[in-house]
Amino acid sequence: MQLTGAEIVIRCLQEEKVEYVFGYPGGSVLYIYDELFKQDKFKHVLVRHEQAAVHAADAYSRSSNKIGVCMVTSGPGVTNAVTGIATAYMDSVPMVIISGQVPTAYIGQDAFQECDTVGITRPCVKHNFLVKDVRDLAVTIKKAFYIAKTGRPGPVLVDIPKDITNQKCDFEYPKTLAMRSYNPVTKGHGGQIKKAVQMLLDAKRPMIYAGGGVILSDAADRLVKLARALGYPVTNTLMGLGGYPATDKQSLGMLGMHGTYEANMAMQNCDVLIAVGARFDDRVIGNPTHFGSVARKIIHIDIDPSSISKRVKVDVPIVGNLPEVLDELQKQLEVSSGVPDPKALAAWWKQIDEWRGKKSLKYKQGKEVIMPQYVIEKLYEVTGGDAFVTSDVGQHQMWAAQYYKFDKPRRWINSGGLGTMGVGLPYAMGVRFANPKATVACVTGEASIQMNIQELSTAKQFRIPVKIINLNNRYLGMVRQWQQMFHGNRYAESYVDALPDFVKLAESYGHVGMRIERPADVEPALREAFTKHKNDLVFMDFLTDQTANVYPMVAAGKGLSEMILAEEL
């Protein structure tokens, strides 16, 4: 059957069982939007800025493991989307972006709304395509979905010139794909896995370091099984929160720049480290030389060979898909006659409990000023620890990560790699589309929220009842913290002046607004928002302590065990 390119795009998305397309129309995608209008198999979510479309699709994917899809027009549509694409790329989120392009004959002519989309996005996508022939369209979209979700996932962009969407050809959606240049490894090397098992059993001070790969590959249950079988301590990265239950006794919480004392000390002092879907990021291990100054054996499981031995040399690399590798590891562990050394393990746990005794996350909540940490603790209580929490970027992000105890994967949605301010609200929208009944909280700050505040309009249109927890300290908090600690209290441009009245702003969009100024009002207000206003978007503007800092802190360039603790100041 002969279909136009625009019809083919729609049919391909239907074949891929897409539920939602997040997007914004424009000149070069008009034929596609026309076909989209004529069908009802999937819905389109109209955002107010293309960046938000990509973030929403990204969170849709993160919170469900379905592929997020977005659609933007050429030129500014694409350039607006770039921040969203780069954000997804840094956190390895599978996504497909369909972008319009000027007609083939106009490419390179500096046409209206033309930009070199493939060139601009190349460094921040897993792969991209420019479709030059309508007959290649279906197979290209098939490839895009396949590449996005296999191997180390990531965003894939398909750029389609306008004339292609109006040309006809026979349509058949390919059932299978063969790509000689792309064959991601899935099964781990058996010999390496055996070696890893022995190394784990020989450990005196073992440590499990689990990252975002655990979440992305749906390997959390396997990780829990393995950790429980061994009885070893587990720390999660910012991206890995929820990959191991935070309330479990073997959990040491988050590690890294703002990790717990016990997690960082155990990471630094362990003798055998198994890294599971993590990449030894600079915010995680601090100074790599300092980290490497302690002798330890490292096992590293990752789907991406280039993540292995990139920043830290490892002893046993295992390339493969986590669920398969962890299953095999578990199997090998069960057939092995060895058991962990109980004496050494008891001594190690005793040491860890001493570190825990530091209570590195404690803070003081007085009667007058709301502490931001307190808001997160109350949010955790009021939501029963079962909400999907999105965050923006800065201090509030770290507090949310530290004080909301995530027990399940895909509940914590934040921009870890790129650190993009403005993701919080569109992320909350994406989560809600993927999980229509879920309780969703967006933890943000008065600076971040304003970077995509126009999405309050989208939330109005689609009646998205998320709760915005605005920790309003009238500062770019994390910038102010660094300026206080490392730049002699010179607060260059970190004061956020001329703030809107967020309550009125929310109300003007038809939402509920609340301002909370006293500690005693925090919990009642949260209860009201999550019960009475269950079906409303509630913008909760918490006026918080202006100078609260995030602790513990490993300063940039310092070692993991060189933490600054709150009590030391």
* The two structure tokens encoding residue 322: 């986590």
Residue bearing tokens 């530091």: 358
What are the backbone angles phi and psi of residue 128, rounded to the nearest 5°? -145, 160
SS3 state of residue 389: strand
CB nearer to another protein: pick between 125 and 459: 125
Cα–Cα dist 75/85, whole Å:
15
User: DSSP per residue over 447-477, as a string?
Assistant: TTGGGSTTHHHHHHHTT---EEEEEE-SB-H
* The two structure tokens encoding residue 327: 């299953």
Q: Of 181, 247, 289, 531, which lies in the binding site for another protein, with binding defined by CB under 8 A?
A: 181
Q: Verify binding: residue 2, another protein, rule CB under 8 A.
A: no
Give me the least distance between CB of 139 and another protein, in Å please: 13
Q: Of 45, 72, 147, 443, which lies in the binding site for another protein, with binding defined by CB under 8 A?
A: 147
Q: Of 304, 324, 341, 521, which lies in the binding site for another protein, with binding defined by CB under 8 A?
A: 304
Q: Verify binding: residue 547, another protein, rule CB under 8 A.
A: no
User: DSSP per residue over 120-146, as a string?
Assistant: HHGGGSSEEEE--SGGGHHHHHHHHHH
Q: Verify binding: residue 191, another protein, rule CB under 8 A.
A: no
Q: Verify binding: residue 118, another protein, rule CB under 8 A.
A: yes
Bridge partners, residue 209, by sequence: 235, 275
- Tell me the window of 37-45, 304-312, 376-384, 433-441 that interacts with another protein (CB under 8 A): 304-312
CB nearer to another protein: pick between 180 and 490: 180
Four-residue CA torsion sign, 98, 102, 103, 107: negative
SS3 state of residue 119: helix
Cα–Cα dist 4/443, whole Å:
44
Q: Verify binding: residue 252, another protein, rule CB under 8 A.
A: no
Sequence-ordered list of residues with C-beta below 8 angstroms from that of 331, at least 6 positions apart, any chain: none
CB nearer to another protein: pick between 109 and 306: 306
Q: Of 43, 127, 225, 283, which lies in the binding site for another protein, with binding defined by CB under 8 A?
A: 127
Give me the least distance between CB of 132 and another protein, in Å please: 8
Q: How many CA atoms lie within 13 A of 118 on its CB side?
A: 14
Measured over all CA atoms, what is the biggest interatomic distance in the chain, rounded to whole angstroms?
74
Q: Verify binding: residue 180, another protein, rule CB under 8 A.
A: yes
- Tell me the window of 28-36, 72-80, 301-309, 377-385 that interacts with another protein (CB under 8 A): 301-309
Give me the least distance between CB of 536 and another protein, in Å please: 45
- Tell me the window of 20-28, 115-123, 204-212, 541-549 that interacts with another protein (CB under 8 A): 115-123
User: DSSP character for 531?
Assistant: I
Cα–Cα dist 542/548, whole Å:
14
Bridge partners, residue 20, by sequence: 43
* The two structure tokens encoding residue 69: 């899809």
- Residues belonging to the active site: 50, 112-113, 162, 478
CB nearer to another protein: pick between 147 and 398: 147
Give me the least distance between CB of 89 and another protein, in Å please: 12
Q: Verify binding: residue 204, another protein, rule CB under 8 A.
A: no
Q: Of 43, 135, 283, 310, which lies in the binding site for another protein, with binding defined by CB under 8 A?
A: 310
Q: Of 108, 191, 305, 557, which lies in the binding site for another protein, with binding defined by CB under 8 A?
A: 305
Residues that bind another protein (CB under 8 A): 118-119, 122-123, 126-127, 130, 132, 147, 179-182, 304-306, 309-310, 313
